[in-house]
């Protein structure tokens, strides 16, 4: 029986919503989750507002097996993710002794002041587990099924590499692609019938355009080859029949 594991992503930051920063983390997380057999089901973006962050965390963490957050764990006044996660779980947000010592040593080795702003990066909900940060030392953290990580893409990716081995994974989704020279208006009816006949699959249609030509890429997904193959054959047969009639 297929094992289904689900996840959501919460992106935190006014800079994403204003367009000043273009998100590069959604695609990476989606690729990694697909690779390991976790279904990324939802992505939300919220501003640097505590109530909005808390509400989103509490909504998503109970709906999905895992929640990944990005952004808001830096040294500035608007980096309020740690406080918001703590509030969502009803925990105090304190300086973490190990994180504090790591950061203090890091800045001392670099001959830089361990300022009050930099100390903020050592704060996390009491009892949180560290997510190691091999790039800039300041750790992310985990509380239950919520993984809190940096928004900087290189750091997010490095943190995620450390998270992945700890995750429970599910049955990976298999896929097959069928080229279709017809538009969605032509294939919509028969494709819907095929989907109904193969409920253990997900069939997507993706319009394409290049060099003055339109076509559709049809992708059949399933968690077993036994479910995938009959649906793929049905889709290919549909395309062949339409070609004959054209």
b/e per residue, 52-76, with b = 16+ CB within 10 A?
ebbebbebbbeebbbbbbbbbbbee
Q: How far apart are alpha carbons 232 and 241 in whole angstroms?
A: 14
Q: In the chain, where does the domain assigned CATH 3.30.1370.10 lie?
A: 174-245
Between CA 42 and CA 9 the distance in angstroms is: 6
The per-residue pLDDT for 211 is: 82
Domain with CATH 3.40.980.10 in the chain: 6-166
Q: Which fold has domain 6-166?
A: Molybdenum Cofactor Biosythetic Enzyme; Chain A (3.40.980)
pLDDT grade, residue 1 (50/70/90)? Answer: low
pTM attached to this predicted model: 0.87
- As a three-state string, the secondary structure of 93-149 is EEECHHHHHHHHHHHHHCCCCCCHHHHHHHEEECCCEEECCCCCCCCEEEECCEEEE
C-alpha 216: how far from chain center:
26
User: What is the homologous superfamily of the domain 174-245 according to CATH?
Assistant: K Homology domain, type 1 (3.30.1370.10)
> For 158-172, what is each residue's pLDDT tens digit?
999 999 999 999 888
- CB-CB neighbours of 154 under 10 Å: 11
Give the residue-averaged pLDDT of 111-128.
Answer: 96
């Amino acid at each position: 029986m297929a094992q289904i594991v689900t996840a959501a992503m919460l992106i935190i930051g006014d800079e994403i919503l204003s367009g000043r920063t273009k998100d590069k983390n959604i695609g990476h997380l989606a690729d990694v989750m697909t690779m390991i057999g976790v279904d990324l089901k939802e992505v939300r973006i919220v501003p640097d507002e505590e109530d909005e962050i808390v509400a989103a965390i509490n909504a998503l963490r109970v709906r999905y097996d895992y929640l990944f957050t990005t952004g808001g764990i830096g040294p500035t006044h608007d980096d309020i993710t740690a406080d918001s996660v703590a509030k969502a779980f009803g925990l105090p947000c304190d300086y973490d002794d190990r994180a504090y010592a790591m950061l203090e040593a890091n800045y001392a080795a670099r001959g830089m002041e361990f300022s009050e702003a930099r100390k903020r990066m050592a704060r996390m909900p009491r009892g949180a587990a560290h997510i190691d940060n091999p790039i800039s030392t300041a750790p992310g953290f985990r509380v239950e099924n919520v993984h809190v990580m940096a928004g900087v893409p290189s750091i997010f990716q490095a943190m995620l590499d450390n998270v992945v081995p700890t995750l429970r994974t599910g049955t990976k989704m298999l896929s097959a692609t069928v080229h279709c020279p017809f538009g969605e208006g032509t294939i919509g009816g028969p494709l819907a019938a095929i989907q109904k006949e193969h409920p253990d699959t997900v069939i997507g249609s993706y319009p394409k355009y290049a060099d003055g030509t339109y076509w559709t890429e049809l992708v059949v997904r399933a968690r077993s080859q036994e479910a995938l193959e009959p649906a793929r054959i049905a889709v290919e047969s549909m395309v062949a029949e339409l070609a004959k009639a054209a």
